[in-house]
Structure 1
Amino acid sequence: MDALPIMFDPVPGHACAAALAILLLSSAWRKLADREVFRATVELYDLLPAAAVGAFAGLFPLLEAAAGVVVVLRPDGPWMLLPLAVLGLSTAAILINVLRGRSNLECGCGGDSQPRLSWALVMRNGALLGGVLVAAAVDNGRPLVWVDFLSVAALTLALAGLYAALNQLLANQPESMQTGSLS
């Protein structure tokens, strides 16, 4: 007897793809708009040789923008490795610095209110990586109908709003919560 394929409703996958595209494209835009600040942030992370910082700071926002386009246009197969790699690289850099105890750094995500590095930021990025996997599970053969498009739009707005609210909460958390100390 053949195993039944896992079937997912396509609405959450399309909504995750759209929300991730908004996030990745806006983040790339903010980094490109203020290249020097992003370059300084990459330098402060202290993960790359000094000679590689400029090249990485110039290339990463372009890869981030490409990942944003990929999640909308090609949310299937090997193409989804790009958003996984971009978000995975960001998460690894944050994780390494949190493990080093360097929670005084801003994340470098772009925007006016940037959270400082913390375990909560690592978990937020883990949820984003999970969103990439949900977006990649979109193609199950069921076509979207008119009500699905409304659902995708509503869920996309809800996910984008949830991300913005969480980011603001992380940016405004007390210093003792960022470092994990209770004093």
Structure 2
Amino acid sequence: MNSILVETGLAGAVGTGIVFAGAGLAKLRHRELFPGVVANYRLLPPALEAPVALLLPFVEVVLGVGLIASGLTGGKLAWLGWPAAALFLGFAAAMAINIRRGRAHIDCGCGRSQLRQPLSWGLVVRNGVLAALAVCHAVAGAPATAPDAAGLAVALVAGLALYLFTLLFNALAALAASPLASGRR
């Protein structure tokens, strides 16, 4: 397997794992608000909104921890890239549907309640990129020879950098959409 794909997959597993784990934990901290976020998307029958809002944060945390473990063990759980990509693409689709409906004003529910973040095409693209990184991990799988300590350290550092870049993107997008950015009050 191409070493670039393997290294990208390992870094992507760590980075997307941290994104999922962080988002899931933030949703759990604000679990009283999250059912309203799910309902705001207007994509599920009302009977499914509460169960999805209850289960999704746990799914994100478990998937995130699994991806981090996979990235740091040389891809032993690389198959987790497939459900991770499906979840990212599902989120992207939900956002795109609402933007097309003219409902870009709703909060994305990405787990960062301190900065309300309305839907945007940038978030759709961000989720597509994260899905692609998860697919890289799934496709690369575990290499024939386990990465050495330096390779795993690079995966960890690159994964952390990906996560920090995602946080920066989210914060800048949320601030750009805030009333303070345009001088509105």
TM-score, with structure 1 as normaliser: 0.84
Matches within 5 A, 1:63-142: 63-71=59-67, 72-73=69-70, 74-77=76-79, 79-111=80-112, 112-136=114-138, 137-142=140-145
Aligned residue number for residue 168 of structure 1: 171
1:14 aligns with 2:10: yes
Q: Using the TM superposition, give the Cα deviation of residue 132 of structure 1 relative to its aligned residue in structure 2, in angstroms.
A: 0.4
CA separation of 1:153 and 1:80: change in aligned 2, threshold 3 A:
closer
Structure 2 unaligned regions, length at least 5:
71-75, 179-185
Structure 1 unaligned regions, length at least 5:
1-5, 176-183
Contact 1:13 1:135 in 2 (8 A): yes
Largest Rg, 1 or 2: 1
Count, aligned residues: 170
Give the RMSD, CA atoms, in angstroms.
2.0
Query: Given the alignment, which residue of 138, 155, 158 partners 2:158?
Result: 155
Specify the SS of the correspondent of 1:39. helix
Contact 1:28 1:64 in 2 (8 A): yes
Contact 1:16 1:156 in 2 (8 A): yes
CA distance in 1, matches of 2:101, 2:147: 46
Contact 1:70 1:83 in 2 (8 A): no
Deviation per residue, 1:71-103 (Å, 9 max, x gap): 2345323x4332123222211111110111111
TM-score, with structure 2 as normaliser: 0.83
Aligned residue number for residue 178 of structure 1: none
* The 10-residue stretch of structure 1 (85-94 or 120-129) with the greater mean CA deviation from structure 2: 85-94
Letter in 1 for 2:55: L
Q: Using the TM superposition, give the Cα deviation of residue 131 of structure 1 relative to its aligned residue in structure 2, in angstroms.
A: 1.1
